[in-house]
Amino acid sequence: MMRFLRSALVIARRDFAATVLSKTFIFFLLGPLFPLLLGGMFGSIGARVATQTQQPTVAVIMSQAEYEALHRAREALVRATGEGHVVKIVGYPRGADDAELVQRLLTSEQRPARAVLTGWFGAPRLIGNIKPGDQISQQVEYLLDRAIMPGGGLRAPSLDIRTTSQTPAHVTRDRALTAQLGQMALFFLTILLSGMLLSQLVEEKSNKIIEVIAAAVPIDALFVGKLFAMLAASVIGIIVWIGAGAVLIDLIKQGGVATLPPPATGWPTFLGLGVAYFAMNYLLLGAVFLTIGAQAATVREVQTMSMPVTFLQVLVFGFAATAIGAPSSGEALLAALFPLSSPMAMIARAAERPDLWPHALALGWQLLWVVIILRLGARLFRKTVLKSGPRGKSWWRLRRPSVQ
């Protein structure tokens, strides 16, 4: 065991120094700059479109006649501006305990409402996660004006706005956004960084260096050393990118860059889990790439063999995205059990659920699959490339006559 660890450490130190101390590592650090800029630009456009098309719900606890008047006013506004720009309204009949109904509507996860409009047209009150002058309160004021006097001759009394803490509808949507961004960051960084393993292994095979190294150290130690060396180099790149991104955000923060919604586990725990799941995702995909690179003899073969794996990883990313918004569903459980999608599914769960014990199980499960894939890759490399290892008896050996 000690020989295995020493051999893996030697290989890791050698590959790490060859990667980080080379001149091309600077270009490697600058490589993601343009994709990140393009991704940020298109992401901001998509986020703006999504924000514009989101329709928050306002519950209306008024008489049937007042609700119908508000509904007619909303229909008129929809015809003028479009359905996607107008707040939704859902009517609820008035009862003996309207305060309890308001609390239930604002805290329920089954029928979440961004705000609740109560009272009557003479004394309207809007309660929820809103502020005076925001889009929701302005639309409600306009609907009240149109409902009282469709011709616009009279205005409704001043709307009493009472701001409360975030409602489940808002919290769920915000945490889903954090989960989605966490998955995208994990997927992008892993795909970007794990490709280094392929080219390095093929280069050493073409120069016949790999046979010399394999004669000195165990194949398993060779694979483990290379994998963890590239993981360490990738962590350095991530630290540089995170530092540059933090400085950039701090410089343009006054221009309107909003902070991400806080995850359910809290930022320190979420970031720690993000590092752990990145390492596991990198080790899983890197082990697969090492296995592929061990079977290829040229760069062309590497590109041909790695393309299906890359497309498979895109499909896995889509499969893991099904866990967003429903971390306790059957699809989310399957995504957490499948090894290649497990890190991305679990980082989404960390953003939406506060419990921590599933993450301990998931990390152990993922580490087990890293060991399985590495052992399988080392065995294939030993049999197909080095032509060594136990072999079965061949027919010609059975028929060969014995020497007298």
pLDDT 10s digits, 84-107: 778 889 888 877 677 777 877 777
Query: What's the pLDDT at 298?
Result: 66
Phi, psi of 81, rounded to the nearest 5 degrees: -115, -20
pLDDT surpassing 80 at residue 43: no
Q: Is 28 helix (H, G, I), strand (E, B) or coil?
A: helix
Query: What's the pLDDT at 360?
Result: 94
How large is the average pLDDT for residues 175-192? 81
Within a domain: residue 379?
yes
The pTM for the full model equals 0.66
Q: Which residues of 84-110 are buried (b: 16+ CB within 10 A; e: fewer)?
A: eebbebebbeeeeebeebbebbbeeee
How large is the average pLDDT for residues 359-371? 93
pLDDT surpassing 80 at residue 206: no
Least confident of 168-177, 215-224, 230-239: 168-177
How large is the average pLDDT for residues 350-364? 92
Residue 302 sits in the same domain as residue 314 = yes
β strands within 172-316, DSSP E:
none
Higher pLDDT, 358 or 295: 358
pLDDT surpassing 80 at residue 171: no
Note the pLDDT tens digit of each residue in 257-311. Answer: 445 677 888 888 988 898 889 889 888 888 887 777 666 666 666 666 666 777 7
Within a domain: residue 89?
yes
Residue 188 sits in the same domain as residue 254 = yes
Q: How confident is the model at residue 56 (pLDDT cuts 50, 70, 90)?
A: confident
How many residues are present in the chain?
Answer: 404
Final residue of a structural domain among 109, 136, 165: 165
Query: What's the pLDDT at 286?
Result: 81
Query: What's the pLDDT at 35?
Result: 57
Residue 67 sits in the same domain as residue 139 = yes
Q: Which range of residues forms the domain containing residue 148? A: 54-165
pLDDT surpassing 80 at residue 128: yes
pLDDT surpassing 90 at residue 111: no
Residue 159 sits in the same domain as residue 214 = no
Higher pLDDT, 144 or 107: 144
Element housing 60 (H / E): strand 57-61
Query: What's the pLDDT at 53?
Result: 41
DSSP per residue, 211-251: HHHHHHS-HHHHHHHHHHHHHHHHHHHHHHHHHHHHHHHHH
Within a domain: residue 95?
yes
Query: What's the pLDDT at 109?
Result: 58
**Rg of the Cα atoms in the chain:** 29
| 256 vs 252: CA distance, rounded Å | 7
Q: Which residues of 18-44 are buried (b: 16+ CB within 10 A; e: fewer)?
A: ebeeeeeeeebeeebeeebeeeeeeee
Residue 253 sits in the same domain as residue 358 = yes
Least confident of 131-140, 150-159, 186-195, 336-345: 150-159
The Cα-based distances of 69 to 60, 146, 147, 149, 316 in angstroms read 12, 8, 5, 10, 49
Higher pLDDT, 324 or 296: 324
Query: What's the pLDDT at 21?
Result: 73
Residue 10 sits in the same domain as residue 91 = no
Final residue of a structural domain among 165, 180, 208: 165
Q: How confident is the model at residue 48 (pLDDT cuts 50, 70, 90)?
A: very low
Q: What is the DSSP letter of 125?
A: E
Within a domain: residue 46?
no
Within a domain: residue 231?
yes
Final residue of a structural domain among 165, 197, 217: 165
Least confident of 30-44, 74-88, 299-313: 30-44
Within a domain: residue 403?
no
Residue 11 sits in the same domain as residue 27 = yes
How large is the average pLDDT for residues 16-43? 61
How large is the average pLDDT for residues 131-153? 78
CA 73 to chain centre: 41
Within a domain: residue 47?
no
How large is the average pLDDT for residues 123-143? 85
Chain-wide mean pLDDT for the chain? 75
pLDDT surpassing 70 at residue 142: yes
Higher pLDDT, 261 or 336: 336
Residue 314 sits in the same domain as residue 266 = yes
Largest CA distance in the chain: 120
Residue 326 sits in the same domain as residue 351 = yes
Residue 155 sits in the same domain as residue 174 = no
Query: What's the pLDDT at 395?
Result: 40
90 and 121 Cβ atoms separated by less than 8 Å: no
Query: What's the pLDDT at 46?
Result: 44
pLDDT surpassing 60 at residue 404: no
Q: Write the CATH number for 112.
A: 3.40.50
Query: What's the pLDDT at 335?
Result: 92
Phi, psi of 116, rounded to the nearest 5 degrees: -130, 130
pLDDT surpassing 50 at residue 245: yes
Residue 229 sits in the same domain as residue 287 = yes
Residue 215 sits in the same domain as residue 266 = yes
350 and 332 Cβ atoms separated by less than 8 Å: no
How large is the average pLDDT for residues 55-76? 88
Region class of 134: left (phi > 0), else alpha (psi between -120 and 50), else beta: beta
Higher pLDDT, 157 or 326: 326
Q: Number of structural domains, the chain?
A: 2
Note the pLDDT tens digit of each residue in 367-392. Answer: 999 999 888 888 887 776 666 555 44
The token pair at 403 is: 């020497």
3-state helix, strand, coil in the chain (%, to 5): 70, 5, 25
Within a domain: residue 392?
no
